[in-house]
Every structure is written in structure tokens, then in C-alpha cells.
Structure 1
């Protein structure tokens, strides 16, 4: 039974990935706004209902890391090391993401970055995901610091930390669109991260230390 369930889960994951890959190819070829769900379903050889079962929103076919993106900052803080502040944990995780060229922080390649930039729908969805990420971080900071109801500090801290990440994400995209290689982008981004996170050292250096 366990083996059968594992095979079913694998099949679902393969189907989901195939739909996502097909959609991304069509979006890159023709632009996000021009491609319909019906066309994606036909190209992926599945029904339109199957597409919407895996991806309720068309935008999520393009931004298929959306769940990981929205949860990333909160997850990093929740799993921070003993003696580590929220700021230090997020800075450490960001630098590791730069090293592995993680798409969650903006390493997507120029064609994909241009496709997103040219789509009002996707840019709006990306702003929404940034907001979701900030809200999730605020919730975790409130829980981790045992903040009283109505305490503004977790939200204020989350806003500063999330803005730092939003700024660095856009910087990554801008460098990519300017034609920088991933290697050159990583070098510039590491330097920028040092400066941006450094601005938060004073107010947040000792905030939410585990």
C-alpha cells in the first residue's frame, strides 16, 4: 500500500512538473498574457480541469515557486540556530541562496525575467507574494518573541526585513535584464546584501535571538 501511494505521489509530481514546464515554454515563446489555459492543456496533453486542479491560478503556472517564496523568510526564522537573531538567520540563508543561484531570490535567467517584467498580471502577482511573505514573517516573529496582542514590533521588524529581501530580489532581476551572467550577478548581489543587511544591524541586531 505504501509503495502504491508513493507511486501515485510520484506520478502527480511528474504531471505537475510537465504542466509547469509546458506552460513556461509557451509563456517564453509568446508572452504570458497571450497564452490560454486551454492551449497549455492541449500542449501538455491533459484536460483543462487537470491544469486548474494543479494550478488554480494561471499566474502560478509561471511563478511555480510561489509557495516556497511566500514561506521562505518565516521558515528561515523559525528554524534559526541557537543564539542567532532573525536578522543573522536571514542574512545567512540569503548568502547561501546566492551561492546556489536560487530562483527564489531572483536567479531565473533573462528570458524568464523579461517575460515576468512584460506581464502586468505577473508583476502584480509578484507584489502580492512579497506582501504574503512579509505577513508570514510577521506572524512567526510574533510567535517567536511571545509578542502581546497588538504589539507593533513584529510587524515593523518584518517590514524592514522583507523590504531588504524585496530590494535585493529586484536588484537581481535588474542585473539579469542588463545581461549580467549569474556569476557576475552573484558577486554584485553578495556585495549589495552586505550593505543592505548592514543597514539593519543597529535596530535589529539583537531582535528575536533564539
Structure 2
């Protein structure tokens, strides 16, 4: 396969991510090197790092999607912030988006992450980055009169808790329909708590 230089576009990035994910799921995160990912994807290690500055982001590659969801929920909303965020999370669930935690075939992904301290640590870093993004968006919104840092902290912590609970149930083999129903119910309880506490 011909090599692609460091200027490769979205298709190159997607190919690298797909190849890396498959290798990590088959051999474990620590059992695969960036050089092996590059070789399997037909690119150089430089190209891999051009698209993914951290090895962990080869697997945890949905950060940009999450940022877009948060920004859109604030910037494009036609209702209050909490309702907009709730609508966004329910939409992810209904679409079985990877960010919802209920996407089909997620068990190998969850097991790979759980087995890697590096991936767990990076997941926490990403959550902190998303919290900062949401806080900054809220602070810039003239129609939001609450505490941006508090709301961002509570929302990200709450959604992370819902995701972790869903991941554990899916990994344990619970029926997908039951997990999705519980996921939706927990989202409802989370937003009820947010409204009662800071709404």
C-alpha cells in the first residue's frame, strides 16, 4: 500500500483510526505500538502523530464530535441551556451514537479501555477538556445567567456517570433494550437534579 504524507486529509485520519482500533481491540492497547499502527495503515509514524498527537487518541477519537455537540447545544439552542443539552443527549441515545454509550458492538471497546490505565487516564483528561469547553461556551452566552463553571462541572460529571454505568451493564451482558431504557431514565434523573439544584 502506498504511503501517505503528513498532509493526508480526513480519509487518512479515518483509516488510521479504524486500523488502530482494530489492532487495539485484538491485541490490547499496550500490545500495539504506533509504528505497528502506521505500518498496518500504510502511512509513516509521522503521519500518525500528525493526526493523533497522543497514542490514546487513536482509540479515543471522538473528542471533536463531543466538542461539536456541546457547542451546538449552546450556540444553536432555541430553548434554555439545560433543555438543549438534554435534547442533545437524548438524540445521541436515539441514534445509538458512539458518544451515547449504547452503540452496537461496544463491548470490546469498553474492555480495552478498562484494561488500560493510560486510556482511563486519557478519558479523564478528555472529560476535563470538555468541561472547560462547555464552561467557556456558557460564559460567552449572553442569555445564560447561571454559573458556567458549576453547570459545566455538574453536567460532565453526571453524563460521565451515566456512561460508565451503561458501559458496565453492556459489558456484563445485560439486554441492550433494557440498558437503553435505563440510560434514558438516568439522563432524566440527571437533568431533574440539575434543574432543581441550579436551574
Length-normalised TM-score, structure 1: 0.83
Larger Rg, first or second structure (1 or 2) = 1
Q: Distance in 1 between matches of 2:37 and 2:186?
A: 38
Structure 1 unaligned residues grouped into runs of 5+:
1-10, 206-210
Shift of 1:161: 1.8
Q: Which has the higher contact order (CA 8 A, sep 6+)?
A: 1
Name the Cα RMSD after superposition.
2.0
Contact 1:71 1:133 in 2 (8 A): no
- Which aligned runs of 4 or more in structure 1 are off by greater than 3 angstroms? none
One of 160, 169, 174 as aligned partner of 1:166: 160
Q: Identify the range of structure 1 (25-34 vs 166-175) with the bigger mean alpha-carbon deviation.
A: 166-175
The equivalent residue for 1:156 is 150
Aligned length: 190
The equivalent residue for 2:129 is 132
Q: Identify the range of structure 1 (161-170 vs 85-94) with the bigger mean alpha-carbon deviation.
A: 161-170
Length-normalised TM-score, structure 2: 0.87
One of 29, 32, 47 as aligned partner of 1:32: 29
One of 16, 30, 52 as aligned partner of 2:49: 52
Structure 2 unaligned residues grouped into runs of 5+:
1-7
For residues 121-178 of structure 1, what are the alpha-carbon distances to aligned partners after superposition, in whole Å with 9 as ceiling and x for unaligned? 111111011111111111111111478xxx9921112212222211112122112211
Shift of 1:107: 3.0
The equivalent residue for 2:186 is 192
Matched, 1:14 2:8: no
Q: Identify the range of structure 1 (20-29 vs 43-52) with the bigger mean alpha-carbon deviation.
A: 43-52
The equivalent residue for 1:101 is 96
